[in-house]
A and B are shown apart, each in its own frame.
Chain A
Amino acid sequence: MATACGGGGGGGDSSNPTAKTLVSISLTPINPSIAKGTVQQFTATGTYSDNSTQNLTTSVSWTSSVPSVASISNAGGSNGLATAIAAGTTAITAASGGISSTTATLTVTPPTLVSITVSPTNPSIGIGATQQFTATGTYSDNSTQNLTTSVSWTSSVPSVASISNAGGSNGLATAIAAGTTMIMAASGGISGTATLTVTGGGSADNEIPITVNGALCSGNSYLNKPCVSVTVCTPGTSTCQTIDDILLDTGSYGLRIFKLLLTVLPPVTGNLAECIQFGDGSSVWGPVQTADVILGNEPVVTVPIQVIDSTFGARPARCFNADTTPAAAGFNGILGVGLFTHDCGTTCVSSANNGIYYACGASCSGTTVPLSSQVQNPAALLPLDNNGVLVQLPSVPLGGISSVNGKLILGIGTRSNNIPSSVTAYSASSTTGEFTTLFGGRTYNSFIDSGSNGLFFTPPPASQLPNCTGANAGWFCPTSTLSLSAINTAASGTPSGTVPFQIGNFTSLTVNSFNKAFVEIGGTFRGNFDWGLPFFFGRNVFVGYGGSASSLGSGPYWAY
Chain B
Amino acid sequence: MKRRLYALLLGLGLAAAFLAAAGRVQATLGESEDSVDSDKTAIEATGLSTVVHNGYTVRELRSVAVTLREYVTPSGIIFAIAWNGQIHPDLTPLLGSYDDEYRTALQHTPREPGRRRLHIQTNRVVVEKWGHMRNLQGRAYVPALLPPGVSVDEIK
Residues in chain A within 8 A of chain B (CB atoms)? 222-225, 251-253, 275-282, 317-318, 328-331, 336, 338, 340, 343-345, 347, 351, 353-356, 431-434, 447, 449, 451-454, 456, 471, 474, 523-528, 530, 532
Contact = CB atoms under 8 A, between A and B. Distances in A.
A452 B115 contact: yes
Nearest to A471: B110
Given A353-B63, A474-B112, A434 B86 contact: no
Q: Is the interface of A mostly helix, strand, loop or mixed?
A: loop
A228 to B, nearest CB: 16
Given A279-B136, A279-B137, 7 more contacts: A278-B132, A318-B90, A328-B111, A434-B135, A452-B115, A456-B115, A526-B117
15 contacts: A277-B88, A279-B129, A280-B112, A317-B41, A338-B132, A340-B134, A344-B134, A353-B63, A354-B86, A355-B65, A355-B87, A432-B134, A432-B135, A474-B119, A528-B130
Contacts of B113: 222, 225, 329-331, 453
A530 B110 CA distance: 21
Contacts of A282: 111
Contacts of B116: 251, 278-280, 449, 451-452, 456, 530
B88 to A, nearest CB: 5
Given A347-B86, A526-B139, A251 B132 contact: yes
A447 B133 CA distance: 11
Contacts of A526: 117, 119, 128, 130, 137, 139
Nearest to B156: A527
B37 to A, nearest CB: 16
Interface residues of B, number: 35
- Most chain B CB within a 10 A radius of its CB, from A253, A318, A355, A528: A355
- Most chain B CB within a 10 A radius of its CB, from A281, A432, A474, A530: A281
A253 B133 contact: yes
A65 B109 CA distance: 109
B147 to A, nearest CB: 21
Nearest to B41: A317
Interface string B138-150: 1100000000000
A225 B112 CA distance: 12
Contacts of B130: 279-280, 525-528, 530
A336 B128 CA distance: 24
A451 B132 CA distance: 10
Contacts of A456: 115-117
A214 B149 CA distance: 50
Contact of A280 (B118, B134, B139, B156): B118
B139 A354 contact: no
B132 A449 contact: yes
A4 to B, nearest CB: 111
Nearest to A321: B106
Nearest to A334: B133
B87 A356 contact: yes
B87 A474 contact: no
B33 interface: no
A524 B115 CA distance: 10
A344 B115 contact: no
B44 interface: yes
Contacts of B106: 281
A279 B111 contact: no
A56 B65 CA distance: 104
B115 A353 contact: no
B135 A276 contact: no
A278 to B, nearest CB: 6
A526 B139 CA distance: 9
B64 A343 contact: no
A431 B111 contact: no
A324 to B, nearest CB: 12
B114 interface: yes
B129 A280 contact: yes
